[in-house]
């Protein structure tokens, strides 16, 4: 890792913990690798991103409906989808310190692109680096690394009697992606909503993968949330709808404050055998030192419904009443990691500014995504100020996520609100008692405006809604 990237990752990981966004999970027991918990502000931010996605994907569309399917699914689901046999990563171990790496990620560090390459190809590249003396453990520097071998990403569990052993016949898998539930509920959705093609089903939920992880904070974790939408259509309109979704999703990022220069499309050249097109939206992470995938947009053909139809024996074909044609719908997917978006929005919003010779750290989130919208700060703990401040707080919290804070100096309180990205701070001072007005400070410009208390609600609604 370069110093700059290491520095940014450290700054953001430490801010996230200090300010209650993200904590390493089970920390008092020594933690668990690549598993994280979300604190108060992290949960609020994550929920706001989720809601912004849902609004765009479901609420504001006529052709997409929602779903919340179970994490546990019939084990055959993952045999039919090909995950049990083929959802693997190539793993390399350090024999000295026991660190574990992904072979394709090691090669990436040398500028060799080997995503989804067969094992023989990966090992040929690794052997060459070994011969040249370049292959070293990123953790301890040892040259004693194993060849790449296949490692299943599927997380096993068992369900049923607690005394049952985890025998092969008892194994169920924690879903590795949320779309499996969408395919299995495709028929119930059509039968219950009488919806016509083309249409999409969207859902947000947890997914689990036994990832071989590098130090990437919440970018790649073993438990994470996906926001996926599967769009069912006739193959003749795949190209048109694919382009439409690509365009729609791109605009969503720009709408929530991302800059065009920070994003790019990555076209997959090596596609799964059933896929006809796959692009990723990539964001240039300061914390990870370059462009990385945040969302995938995939044209998946009729593979999913055909496979589930074959393995379940249930006909999942669609009859078009207008044309009289019966066919298996093809699927266009948009799939994005919610936790990855949390990192993307923090990474994008993180700004350090010089103010009066001091460094001000601000998270300049889009206001709709900011965890807290308004902070109410009385300038003294005297009741004559805390009473009206609390009254304002009680009123505004019915409308927005609002915080009340009467501790510490005003400078420290502003600093804390800047670091969690609160767009507006409202101070109640002794002048308030005379002019029945408060001072509203804008997070980004730090400009202050005097607003009458009875106009405050309207003023903030105008800024925030």
Where does this chain touch ligand GAP (CB under 6 A) — which range of 51-59, 69-77, 331-339, 403-411?
Answer: 331-339
Nearer to ligand GAP, 137 or 179 (CB): 179
48 binds ligand GAP (CB under 6 A): no
Nearer to ligand GAP, 137 or 336 (CB): 336
294 binds ligand GAP (CB under 6 A): yes
Report cis status (omega within 30 of 0) of the bond before 198: yes
307 binds ligand GAP (CB under 6 A): no
Q: Which residues contact 19 (CB under 8 A, 6 or more apart)?
A: 41, 416, 419, 420
Where does this chain touch ligand GAP (CB under 6 A) — which range of 43-51, 57-65, 317-325, 337-345?
Answer: 337-345
* Count of residues touching ligand GAP (by CB under 6 A): 19
* Number of Cβ within a 10 Å radius of residue 396: 21
d(CA 399, CA 423): 15
Positions 154 through 183 that interact with ligand GAP (CB under 6 A): 177, 179
Cβ-in-10-Å burial (0-12, 13-18, 19+) of 407 comes to exposed
- Least distance (Å) from ligand GAP to the CB of residue 336? 5
d(CA 397, CA 242): 41
Dihedral sign for Cα atoms in the order 237, 243, 244, 245? positive
Nearer to ligand GAP, 38 or 224 (CB): 224
Q: Which residues contact 458 (CB under 8 A, 6 or more apart)?
A: none
Q: Which among 170, 293, 180 has a CA at the least distance from the CA of 230?
A: 180
335 binds ligand GAP (CB under 6 A): yes
296 binds ligand GAP (CB under 6 A): yes
- Least distance (Å) from ligand GAP to the CB of residue 202? 13
Where does this chain touch ligand GAP (CB under 6 A) — which range of 322-330, 333-341, 354-362, 403-411?
Answer: 333-341
For 36, the enclosing helix (H) or strand (E) is strand 36-38
Positions 205 through 244 that interact with ligand GAP (CB under 6 A): 209, 211, 220-221, 224, 226, 228
For 40, the enclosing helix (H) or strand (E) is helix 40-54
441 binds ligand GAP (CB under 6 A): no
Q: Which of 340, 348, 367, 441 binds ligand GAP (CB under 6 A)?
A: 340
Q: Which of 93, 277, 295, 366 binds ligand GAP (CB under 6 A)?
A: 295
19 binds ligand GAP (CB under 6 A): no
- Number of residue whose CB is nearest ligand GAP: 337
293 binds ligand GAP (CB under 6 A): yes
Nearer to ligand GAP, 211 or 403 (CB): 211
The dihedrals phi and psi of 382, each to the nearest 5 degrees, come to -70, 140
d(CA 63, CA 232): 10
- Least distance (Å) from ligand GAP to the CB of residue 187? 19
Q: Which of 123, 339, 417, 432 binds ligand GAP (CB under 6 A)?
A: 339
For 125, the enclosing helix (H) or strand (E) is helix 119-131
- Least distance (Å) from ligand GAP to the CB of residue 341? 8
Q: Which among 94, 103, 138 has a CA at the least distance from the CA of 1?
A: 138
Where does this chain touch ligand GAP (CB under 6 A) — which range of 240-248, 259-267, 293-301, 389-397?
Answer: 293-301
Nearer to ligand GAP, 308 or 367 (CB): 308
Beta strand 402-404 with 374-378 is parallel
Number of helices followed by number of strands (H, E) in the chain: 15, 23
- DSSP sequence for 253-310: HHHTT--GGGEEEEE-SS--TT-SEEEEEEEEETTTTEEEEEEEEEE-TTHHHHHHHH
- Least distance (Å) from ligand GAP to the CB of residue 171? 21
Nearer to ligand GAP, 277 or 333 (CB): 333
337 binds ligand GAP (CB under 6 A): yes
Edge-to-edge strand ranges of the sheet holding 149-152: 100-102, 88-93, 149-152
CB 357 within 8 A of CB 350: no
Nearer to ligand GAP, 285 or 400 (CB): 285
The dihedrals phi and psi of 152, each to the nearest 5 degrees, come to -75, 135
- Least distance (Å) from ligand GAP to the CB of residue 223? 8
- Least distance (Å) from ligand GAP to the CB of residue 115? 11
CB 373 within 8 A of CB 401: yes
DSSP classification of residue 138: T
- Least distance (Å) from ligand GAP to the CB of residue 431? 49
DSSP classification of residue 145: B
Binding site for ligand GAP (CB under 6 A): 177, 179, 209, 211, 220-221, 224, 226, 228, 293-296, 333, 335-337, 339-340
């Amino acid at each position: 890792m370069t110093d700059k990237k290491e520095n940014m990752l450290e700054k953001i990981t430490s801010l996230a913990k200090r300010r209650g966004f993200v904590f390493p999970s089970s920390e008092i027991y020594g933690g668990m690798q690549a598993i994280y918990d979300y604190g108060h502000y992290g949960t609020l931010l994550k929920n706001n991103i989720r809601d912004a996605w849902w609004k765009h994907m479901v609420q504001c569309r006529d052709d997409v409906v929602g779903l919340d399917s179970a994490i546990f699914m019939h084990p055959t689901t993952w045999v039919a989808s090909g995950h049990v046999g083929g959802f693997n990563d190539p793993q390399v171990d350090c024999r000295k310190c026991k660190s574990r790496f992904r072979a394709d990620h090691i090669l990436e560090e040398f500028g060799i692109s080997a995503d989804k390459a067969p094992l023989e190809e990966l090992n040929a590249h690794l052997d060459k680096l070994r011969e040249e003396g370049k292959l070293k453990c990123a953790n301890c520097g040892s040259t004693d690394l194993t060849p790449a071998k296949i490692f299943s990403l599927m997380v096993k569990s068992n369900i049923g009697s607690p005394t049952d052993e985890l025998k092969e016949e008892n194994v169920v898998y924690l879903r590795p992606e949320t779309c499996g539930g969408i395919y299995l509920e495709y028929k119930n959705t059509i039968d219950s909503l009488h919806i016509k093609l083309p249409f999409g089903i969207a859902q947000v939920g947890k997914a689990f993968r036994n990832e071989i992880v590098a130090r990437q904070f919440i970018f790649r974790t073993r438990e994470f949330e996906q926001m996926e939408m599967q769009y069912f259509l006739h193959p003749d309109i795949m190209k048109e709808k694919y382009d439409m979704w690509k365009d729609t999703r791109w605009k969503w990022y720009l709408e929530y404050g991302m800059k065009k220069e920070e994003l790019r499309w990555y076209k997959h050249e090596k596609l799964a055998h059933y896929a006809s097109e796959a692009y990723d939206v990539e964001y240039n992470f300061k914390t990870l030192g370059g462009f990385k995938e945040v969302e995938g947009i995939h044209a998946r053909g009729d593979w999913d419904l055909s496979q589930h139809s074959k393995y379940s024996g249930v006909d999942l074909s669609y009859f078009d009443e207008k044309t009289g044609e019966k066919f298996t719908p093809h699927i266009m997917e948009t799939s994005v990691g919610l936790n990855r978006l949390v990192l993307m929005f923090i990474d994008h919003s993180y700004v350090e500014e010089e103010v009066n010779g001091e460094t001000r750290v601000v998270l300049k989130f889009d206001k709709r995504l900011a965890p807290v919208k308004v902070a109410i700060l009385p300038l003294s703990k005297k009741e004559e100020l805390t009473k009206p401040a609390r009254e304002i707080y009680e009123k505004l919290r019915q409308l927005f996520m609002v915080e009340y804070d009467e501790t510490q100096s005003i400078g420290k309180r502003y600093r804390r609100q800047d670091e969690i990205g609160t767009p507006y701070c409202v101070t109640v001072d002794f002048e308030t008692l005379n002019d029945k007005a408060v001072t509203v400070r804008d997070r980004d410009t730090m400009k202050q405006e005097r607003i009458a208390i009875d106009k405050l609600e309207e003023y903030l609604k105008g800024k925030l809604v």
